[in-house]
Amino acid sequence: MSALSSRLFEREVIVCVGAGGVGKTTVAATVALQAALSGKRAIVLTIDPARRLANALGLAELGNQATRVELPDAPGELWAMMLDLKRSWDEFITRTVSTEHRDAILRNRFYQTLSSSLAGSQEYIATEKLYELHSSGRWEVLVLDTPPTQNALDFLDAPRRILDFLGNKPLRRLLAPALVAGRFGLRLFQMGGKAILEGLSRLTGIETLEELARFLVEIQPTYDAFKERAAKVRELLASDRAAFLLVTTAHGTPVEEAISFHRMLVEAKTNVAAVIANRVHVDHLGELSLPSPEELADELLREGVPDSGQPALSERLARTLREMRALASLDARNLERLAASVHPTPQVRVPRFPADVYDLAALRMVADHLFSRS
Amino acid sequence: MSRLARRLHVVIGKGGVGKTTVSAALGLQLSRAGRRVLVAEVRVQQIPRLLGAEGRGYEIVRIADRLEAISLDPKEAMREYALMRLHSKLLVRSLLENRVVTAFLGFIPSLPELVMLGKLLHCVRTGEWDTVIFDAPATGHGLTFLGVPQALRDAVPPGALRSEADWMQEILVDSTATAVELVTLPEELAVNETLELAEKAGQGLGLPLGRVLLNRHVPLRFSDEELKRLEVGIASEKLAAASRAAREHEIRARRSRHFEERLRSSLSLPLVTLPMLHPERAFGRAEIEALAERIEAAS
Ligand SMILES: Nc1ncnc2c1ncn2[C@@H]1O[C@H](COP(=O)(O)OP(=O)(O)O)[C@@H](O)[C@H]1O
Ligand SMILES: Nc1ncnc2c1ncn2[C@@H]1O[C@H](COP(=O)(O)OP(=O)(O)O)[C@@H](O)[C@H]1O
Ligand SMILES: [Mg+2]
Ligand SMILES: [Mg+2]
Confidence at residue A108, expressed as pLDDT on a 0 to 100 scale? 81
pLDDT in tens, B179-211: 999 999 999 889 999 999 999 999 999 999 999
**d(Cα B136, Cα A15) in Å, to the nearest integer?**
29
Assess contact for A54 and A81: CB atoms under 8 A: no
A354 lies in some domain: yes
**Nearest Cα residue in chain A from B20:** A253
A362 lies in some domain: yes
pLDDT at A176 over 70: no
Assess contact for B213 and B184: CB atoms under 8 A: yes
Confidence at residue B4, expressed as pLDDT on a 0 to 100 scale? 60
Confidence at residue B61, expressed as pLDDT on a 0 to 100 scale? 94
The CB of B17 under 6 Å from ligand 2? The reply is yes
Confidence at residue A152, expressed as pLDDT on a 0 to 100 scale? 56
> Which of these, A72, A16, A11, lies nearest to A42 by C-alpha position?
A11
Confidence at residue A177, expressed as pLDDT on a 0 to 100 scale? 63
Confidence at residue B27, expressed as pLDDT on a 0 to 100 scale? 97
Assess contact for B15 and A21: CB atoms under 8 A: yes
Do B16 and A193 make contact, defined as CB atoms within 8 angstroms?
A: no
pLDDT band at A75 (very low <50, low <70, confident <90, very high): very high
Do A203 and B105 make contact, defined as CB atoms within 8 angstroms?
A: yes
Q: Which CATH number covers residue A354?
A: 3.40.50.300
A20 closest CB neighbour out of B43, B138, B157: B138
| Exposed/middle/buried for residue A130 (C-beta within 10 Å: 0-12, 13-18, 19+) | buried
Low-confidence ranges of chain B (pLDDT < 70): 1-4, 107, 109, 155-158
Taking contacts as CB-CB distances below 8 angstroms, the residues of chain A near B111 are 204
pLDDT at A7 over 70: yes
pLDDT band at A116 (very low <50, low <70, confident <90, very high): confident
Domain count, chain A: 1
Average pLDDT over residues A34-60: 86
The CB of A252 under 6 Å from ligand 2? The reply is yes
Confidence at residue A190, expressed as pLDDT on a 0 to 100 scale? 46
Confidence at residue A153, expressed as pLDDT on a 0 to 100 scale? 61
B84, B238, B243, B283: best mutation site toward chain A, by most A Cβ within 10 Å? B238
**d(Cα B211, Cα B180) in Å, to the nearest integer?**
7
Determine how many CB atoms are found less than 10 A away from the CB of residue A98: 9
Assess contact for A63 and A103: CB atoms under 8 A: no
Confidence at residue A125, expressed as pLDDT on a 0 to 100 scale? 85
Q: Which range is least confidently modeled, A115-119, A221-225, B229-233?
A: A115-119
Q: Say what percent of chain A tops pLDDT 70.
A: 87
Output the pTM of the full model.
Answer: 0.89
Do A306 and B229 make contact, defined as CB atoms within 8 angstroms?
A: yes
Q: What is the ipTM of this complex?
A: 0.89
pLDDT at A278 over 90: yes
Work out the angle at residue B257's Cα, subtended by the Cα atoms of residues B253 and B262, and round it to the nearest 5 degrees.
Answer: 145
Establish, for the pair of chains A and B, how many residue pairs have beta carbons separated by less than 8 Å.
Answer: 171
B241 closest CB neighbour out of A195, A285, A295: A285
pLDDT at A352 over 70: yes
* Nearest alpha carbon, ligand 1 atom 5: A356
pLDDT at A62 over 70: no
pLDDT at A103 over 90: no
Taking contacts as CB-CB distances below 8 angstroms, the residues of chain B near A195 are 91, 94
A31 lies in some domain: yes
How remote is the CA of residue A147 from the centroid of ligand 3, in Å? Answer: 6
The minimum-distance atom of ligand 1 relative to the CA of A145 is 21
How remote is the CA of residue B20 from the centroid of ligand 2, in Å? Answer: 7
Confidence at residue B1, expressed as pLDDT on a 0 to 100 scale? 44
**Pairing mode of beta strands B209-217, B271-275:** parallel
How remote is the CA of residue B174 from the centroid of ligand 4, in Å? Answer: 25
pLDDT at A328 over 90: yes
Higher pLDDT, residue A270 or B238? B238
**Nearest Cα residue in chain A from B138:** A150
Give the residue numbers spanning the domain of A62.
6-155+221-281+347-370
**d(Cα B188, Cα B190) in Å, to the nearest integer?**
6
Q: Which domains does chain B have, with CATH numbers?
A: 3-217+269-298 (3.40.50.300)
Do A150 and B85 make contact, defined as CB atoms within 8 angstroms?
A: no
pLDDT at A210 over 90: no
pLDDT at A374 over 90: no
A355 closest CB neighbour out of B94, B251, B282: B251
Q: Give whichever of A111-125, A286-300, B54-68, B71-85 has the largest mean pLDDT.
A: A286-300
A137 lies in some domain: yes
A101 lies in some domain: yes
A295 lies in some domain: no
Residue B120 CA: distances (Å) to CA of A3, A245, B73, B123: 47, 38, 11, 5
A199 closest CB neighbour out of B86, B99, B222: B86
Confidence at residue A186, expressed as pLDDT on a 0 to 100 scale? 39
**Nearest Cα residue in chain B from A334:** B282
